Structure 1
């Protein structure tokens, strides 16, 4: 057991009110484990909670510990837990479907109507997150990684799972990525990981677009063949827009109307547009999409892909570490959030905790 006298947490009390606080140390109950957190990634949703006090209609109504991308070592086991051992490195799946609603009953747990998700303010009480020294969590939410795995890489399992789900959705309607020409619009963490998956699955050519040179450089490290700053080079996609388009599948990771327009212009007839990025109401070139018979696929979160993400990271088949642009100690959380909001310098910013 790790020797802790208090449990430090990164807690949001409302818009622009992020605090480092302490909580009592909890013991794991039956079927639970306690994990000493090593690394936690700051997600766009964490930034929205901090900057805006919520995401759309979901508002922070009580103090909430943020964080849903995290990995650490098992510190204690609750009664009845088998298959896990103290000291093992685990990535923690923040999704907790109810298992009983109509969607869960037909295997669509991703659309659970009572989904609990660590670090989410959707319901009251809020589902507390993982930005803390010690977190008590269901044993079934813990996925073991091989000894020697970088904890920061392990903490990328959640965003990688999001991208694997997007890839699986795209392949289900558009066919195998092997040998395909793939465009990724938006080179943030999700875009960078979509690039890595396209490379790992055998795409012949991968193009990525963004309006920041720094993020594009990371995307190249993750496997992109062509990186185009569309703000500086508005004609950079011309080789793939000529004729009726030369791209087989697009991972649209920005939710920006100009990027969606580029995606549709580049797609060949009956190409596949996988919409991963989300925003408010967004203009889309529906006439061109219909004329080209574009296959439009929505993709949100993940399901069984979390285990696949852990396996890929644990085996080294996908290495997310090039996209980790900075790591801050938890007591510098505000500086970490400030860095994470600056897309000119950051892709994935992580926090480290006292258990490191």
Structure 2
């Protein structure tokens, strides 16, 4: 017979306290509201923003003012469904859309809620009180965030749903890429996932760029036809790509993106450069009539990504290079910060099997 799930009072979580101060510690498990569900978290992917909160106590202009539970790349199983009947039933495997769009004083296109000025995101210190993330054994989340996963889609693969949605959104900003030459600057997890999305979308030539061999190996594994070192500026410029995805998040990468685009081409900027003024080859962008397009997070593309992962048309498995159990969480972050040797690093929140 069914009954109300008895939730534990606390659960182990990954908490950033300040720059250089990351802890695996027990935190209270929030009692769910009527429209909230409790997720038994299986895997969480470490994102660049998580690393920034740990290393610098800030991600861009979002500065830690209190301890913050990290994590927004989450998959798991519903432990307790929302009491109001919204969202998936208990036992359903789910991915998480971590955004909560919100209004604000500034205007934005209504069909692009990712741009809403009041938007919050799991594991973000952009506002205070901060928005805790879901790097926890159990996470209480709004039911509207939860996306059921099709049968047969492995949770470990589904752990890439959120970053793959970021890549999908970036590629979609360029329009139809079928039959075109694409250049991806920066082959970390987002860049590699962009390669995979471009491959699925029908780009006929995909060139991936990075400074390190390991990311380029991953890019090849998910669909890159050619790879180039980031300091091979002549070869990058010679690509003459119709579409460039800039995912390095550096002004050097943006310069390579502008040089590597064909006249009249499109450069999608998904790598987040540091705040403040940045040097840009803007005169070259003007005289070549390049379209420079920003790309920020994603909207409902998450549903398309889940479908593409489930039917096998989006191949991303090589992007995951390491998996660590939660008790080795600090080690996982150390590995994730070494972009020369790691792709996406996952935390495994599941309890160890009994011996």
Range into which the TM-score falls when normalised by the shorter chain: over 0.9
Establish whether residue 31 from structure 1 lines up as the match of residue 31 from structure 2: no
Contact map agreement 2:79 2:90 (CA 8 A) in 1: yes
- The residue aligned with 2:331 is 335
- Normalized against structure 1, the TM-score is what? 0.92
Q: Deviations over 1:102-141 (max 9, x none)?
A: 6578333112121121100011111000100000111110
Structure 2 CA distance for aligned equivalents of residues 284 and 225 of structure 1? 28
Q: Quick one: which of 151, 156, 160 aligns to 1:152? A: 156
- The residue aligned with 1:90 is 94
Cα drift, residue 4 of structure 1: 5.3
- The residue aligned with 1:213 is 213
Q: Could you say if the C-alpha distance between residues 224 and 12 of structure 1 is closer, same or farther in structure 2, counting changes exceeding 3 Å?
A: same
Structure 1 CA distance for aligned equivalents of residues 271 and 166 of structure 2? 11
Secondary structure of the structure 1 residue equivalent to 2:78: strand
Q: Quick one: which of 312, 317, 331 aligns to 1:316? A: 312
Instruction: Structure 2: give runs of 5+ residues left out of the alignment.
Output: none
Cα drift, residue 303 of structure 1: 1.1
Contact map agreement 1:179 1:204 (CA 8 A) in 2: yes
Q: Deviations over 1:298-353 (max 9, x none)?
A: 11111111222222222222132211010111111110000000011111101011
Q: Quick one: which of 56, 65, 68 aligns to 1:64? A: 68
Q: Quick one: which of 142, 145, 148 aligns to 1:141? A: 145
Contact map agreement 2:165 2:301 (CA 8 A) in 1: yes
Query: Deviation above 6 Å: which 4+ runs of structure 1?
Result: none
Cα drift, residue 150 of structure 1: 1.8
- The residue aligned with 1:345 is 341
Q: Could you say if the C-alpha distance between residues 100 and 282 of structure 1 is closer, same or farther in structure 2, counting changes exceeding 3 Å?
A: closer
Contact map agreement 2:233 2:256 (CA 8 A) in 1: no
- The residue aligned with 1:243 is none
Q: Could you say if the C-alpha distance between residues 68 and 295 of structure 1 is closer, same or farther in structure 2, counting changes exceeding 3 Å?
A: same
Structure 2 CA distance for aligned equivalents of residues 74 and 319 of structure 1? 26
Secondary structure of the structure 1 residue equivalent to 2:262: strand
Structure 1 CA distance for aligned equivalents of residues 237 and 264 of structure 2? 19
Structure 2 CA distance for aligned equivalents of residues 98 and 34 of structure 1? 23
Structure 1 CA distance for aligned equivalents of residues 9 and 37 of structure 2? 18
Secondary structure of the structure 1 residue equivalent to 2:235: coil
Cα drift, residue 94 of structure 1: 0.6
Contact map agreement 2:103 2:119 (CA 8 A) in 1: no
Structure 1 CA distance for aligned equivalents of residues 144 and 329 of structure 2? 29
Structure 1 CA distance for aligned equivalents of residues 42 and 132 of structure 2? 17
Cα drift, residue 5 of structure 1: 6.8
Structure 2 CA distance for aligned equivalents of residues 114 and 99 of structure 1? 5
Structure 2 CA distance for aligned equivalents of residues 181 and 315 of structure 1? 25
Q: Quick one: which of 267, 272, 277 aligns to 2:271? A: 277
